[in-house]
């Protein structure tokens, strides 16, 4: 099965001062939240409406009967019913305003839901209460008709309070975005060409400028160190608690904290191009995107609406025949109020907001929210070897000339010239060896890479290539198979230097397995996920690494198209997670059900992935899987809280237990609904990420 994935593009507008992702966030004191389809409600306005409505409610509680009963502290005097009606009308129009607007939006899109139900409930209660006042005081009917102003007032107050709490919780769940934006300092120390240092506002710092970062300061922007060194604390950005040693040529992330050293660095990313801005955009996109669970919640809410409408009308008709209009309306109002899918609409978004924020704080960047929900169906975890299970930091163990025309030194020189400027782990090992040998590296002419095969270029008029053994086999170039087997059996990755269709030399490089790789494999097996290694390296080296970490299924000497083909084959047997980092992994990352790229990988791989591991640690794969399982569990719990109570409450509100003397009052219905909302919010905020460090 082929899965199409969307890629996220950063906004094109200019940045100033701090990442646009942070600039676009609403102020927490006047935040906005949807109050129905298309209608937005300011938090400041909602807070004010609640307090004004509560003040209007107090005299209503004193003068109006509760559930038809007069309490000892309640006051009645000539005209008190009319005063309650006036206060109730003001409260109905003022406090109910947000619900009327939300209902209009829902009805305009022909999708009646929570706001329509609330409006129906308070509308019926208000109109019937006005009728009761007029009937009692002008027409003096008997028996006296009981009004619902007490229930109307408390219902509006509880609904407003529930929305206020909801908005607070939503904004608290998304506050990680603002926290990330505040990591950047406001001023940077910019050094000019003459070496003079001046303080420049962060908004004016340009890519390519040189900044000075002193001991204990926050790094103002993404940059590459030019001079000096230090230990940098990246915990606030990546979640990695240990300080990371940084020296000349290393990259540093804006927002991380410098240690005791001072260094100069060339700015590589500011504004929207910086790491923090991209992280914040990832969080926002993930929180705003619709997921499968949310679509399910919407469908459930729709079913509940029509179920409540049917039950409410049916109960009204039945009770109208059994009692009177007042009793029938009371039952109908209770049904409509208790069925409001308020908590259901909140159930999934709150969990997702909390989950994506937790993930980003711990160096797990979720680009595709559906990946979290697909974890529960995973059957296979396919992974690359180099840079994923191993460090990707190669050391030359053997360097051999295979021709009398070149000695070992000359072979190393040719290899280094071919690899000049390359950041591939194998290239880094060769360049490091050349540097230690005191060789001067000169880049080859017309350098180009054949993905999965090797690096090619022209040196002194001759075209050379540094290739894998797969290339030799495909082009039928002779080499010593026994020698290859012996070196590969030691766990080496072998590359051959060729020129004029002749094998000139070989280099065997060793890599180190990451300390947490075996723990990842163990976790996958314990949870019923089959780990599989897919690598372009030789079979012998791949097998040795696989045995060391506990992987039983190994596919070696693969080209990018081979990996993608195998991903498709495994998908026919179940959901597939693919973990990789290189250009040759990008097709597989895009094809897999969940593509996971390690943070040190190439831009192409990162763009194709659903999840990015900033710290490049296999333990973070486990962390993501644990977080995904916890997130799915919280979603399920919240969906039950948001909808499950309706299955019990709606029949109770309709009077199914009336023969036993139990009826659910409209006010009690409002309290139950609001309690369900609060429980859903609290449950979402209890989501935690258990991420042990090694």
Give the catalytic positions in this structure. 384
The phi and psi torsions of 376 (rounded to 5 degrees) equal -65, -15
Cα 496 from chain centre: 43
| Element at 534 (helix H, strand E) | strand 530-534
DSSP string, 341-369: -HHHHHHHHHHHHHHHHHHHHTTEEES-T
43 in Cβ contact with 31 (< 8 Å)? yes
Closest CA to 500 of 461, 551, 536, 545: 461
- Cβ atoms within 10 Å of 439's Cβ, excluding its own: 17
198 in Cβ contact with 231 (< 8 Å)? no
Retrieve residue 299's tokens.
Answer: 């469908």
| Element at 188 (helix H, strand E) | strand 187-191
The phi and psi torsions of 181 (rounded to 5 degrees) equal -65, -30
CA atoms of 8 and 99, how far apart (whole Å): 35
Ordered alpha helix ranges (H), 262-324? 275-288, 292-322
CA atoms of 669 and 646, how far apart (whole Å): 10
639 in Cβ contact with 306 (< 8 Å)? no
Ordered alpha helix ranges (H), 64-113? 80-95, 97-108
Integer angstrom CA distances of residue 475 from 398, 446, 464? 24, 22, 15
Cα 93 from chain centre: 40
CA atoms of 100 and 108, how far apart (whole Å): 12
347 in Cβ contact with 641 (< 8 Å)? yes
Q: What is the DSSP letter of 145?
A: P
Angle between helices 114-137 and 292-322 (to 10 degrees): 20
DSSP string, 562-581: HHHHHHHHHHTTSEEEEEE-
CA atoms of 591 and 605, how far apart (whole Å): 12
């Amino acid at each position: 099965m082929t899965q199409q994935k969307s890629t996220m593009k950063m906004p094109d507008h200019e940045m100033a001062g701090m990442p646009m992702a942070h600039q676009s966030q609403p102020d927490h004191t006047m935040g906005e939240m949807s109050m129905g389809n298309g209608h937005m409600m300011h938090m400041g306005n909602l807070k004010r409406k609640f307090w004004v409505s509560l003040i209007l409610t107090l005299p209503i509680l004193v003068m109006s009967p509760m559930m038809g009963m007069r309490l000892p502290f309640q006051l009645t005097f000539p005209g008190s019913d009319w005063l309650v009606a006036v206060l109730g009308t003001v409260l109905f129009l003022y406090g109910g305003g947000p619900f009327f607007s939300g209902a209009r939006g829902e009805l305009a899109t022909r999708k009646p839901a929570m706001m329509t139900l609330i409006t129906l409930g308070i509308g019926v209660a208000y109109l019937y209460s006005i009728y009761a006042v007029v009937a009692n005081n002008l027409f003096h009917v008997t028996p006296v008709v009981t009004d619902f102003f007490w229930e109307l007032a408390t219902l509006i107050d509880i609904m407003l309070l529930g929305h206020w709490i909801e908005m607070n919780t939503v904004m608290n769940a998304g506050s990680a975005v603002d926290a990330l934006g505040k990591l950047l300092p406001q001023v940077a120390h910019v050094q000019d060409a003459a070496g003079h240092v001046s303080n420049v506002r962060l908004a004016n710092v340009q890519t390519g400028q040189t900044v000075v970062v002193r001991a204990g300061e926050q790094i103002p922007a993404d940059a590459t160190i030019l001079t000096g060194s230090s230990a940098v604390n990246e915990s606030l950005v990546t979640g990695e608690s240990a300080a990371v040693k940084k020296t000349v040529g290393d990259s540093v992330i804006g927002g991380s904290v410098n240690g005791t050293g001072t260094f100069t660095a060339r700015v590589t990313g500011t504004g929207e191009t910086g790491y923090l801005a991209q992280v914040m955009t990832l969080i926002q996109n993930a929180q705003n995107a619709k997921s499968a669970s949310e679509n399910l919640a919407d469908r459930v809410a729709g079913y509940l609406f029509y179920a409540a409408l049917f039950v409410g009308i049916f109960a009204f008709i039945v009770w109208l025949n059994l009692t009177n209009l007042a009793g029938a309306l009371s039952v109908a109002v209770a049904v409509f109020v208790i069925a409001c899918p308020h908590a259901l609409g909140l159930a999934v978004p709150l969990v997702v907001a909390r989950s994506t924020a937790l993930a980003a704080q711990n160096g797990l960047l979720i680009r595709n929210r559906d990946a979290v929900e697909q974890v529960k169906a995973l059957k296979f975890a396919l992974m690359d070897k180099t840079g994923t299970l191993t460090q990707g930091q190669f050391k030359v163990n053997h360097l051999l000339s295979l021709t009398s025309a070149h000695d070992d030194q000359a072979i190393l020189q040719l290899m280094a010239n071919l690899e000049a400027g390359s950041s591939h782990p194998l290239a880094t090992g060769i360049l490091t060896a050349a540097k230690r040998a005191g060789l001067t590296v000169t880049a080859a002419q017309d350098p180009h890479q054949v993905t999965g095969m090797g690096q090619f270029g022209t040196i002194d008029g001759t075209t050379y290539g540094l290739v894998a053994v797969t290339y030799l086999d495909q082009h039928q170039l002779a080499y010593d198979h026994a020698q290859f087997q012996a070196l590969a059996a030691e766990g080496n990755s072998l590359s051959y230097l060729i020129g004029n269709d002749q094998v000139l030399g070989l280099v065997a490089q060793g890599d180190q397995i990451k300390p947490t790789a075996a723990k990842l494999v163990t976790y996958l097996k314990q949870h019923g996920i089959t780990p599989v290694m897919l690598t372009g390296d030789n079979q012998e080296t791949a097998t040795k690494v696989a045995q060391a970490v506990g992987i039983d299924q190994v596919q070696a000497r693969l080209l990018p198209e081979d990996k993608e083909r195998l991903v498709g084959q495994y998908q026919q047997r179940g959901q597939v997670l693919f973990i990789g980092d290189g250009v040759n992994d990008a097709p597989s990352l895009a094809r897999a059900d969940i593509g996971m790229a390690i943070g040190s990988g190439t831009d192409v791989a990162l763009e194709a992935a659903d999840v990015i591991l900033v710290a490049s640690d296999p333990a973070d794969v486990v962390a993501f899987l644990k977080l995904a399982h916890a997130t799915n569990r919280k979603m399920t719990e919240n969906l039950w809280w948001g909808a499950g109570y309706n299955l019990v409450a709606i029949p109770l509100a309709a009077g199914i237990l009336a023969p036993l003397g139990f009826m659910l009052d409209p006010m009690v219905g409002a309290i139950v609904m609001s309690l369900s909302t609060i429980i859903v919010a609290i449950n979402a905020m209890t989501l935690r990420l258990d991420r042990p460090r090694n």
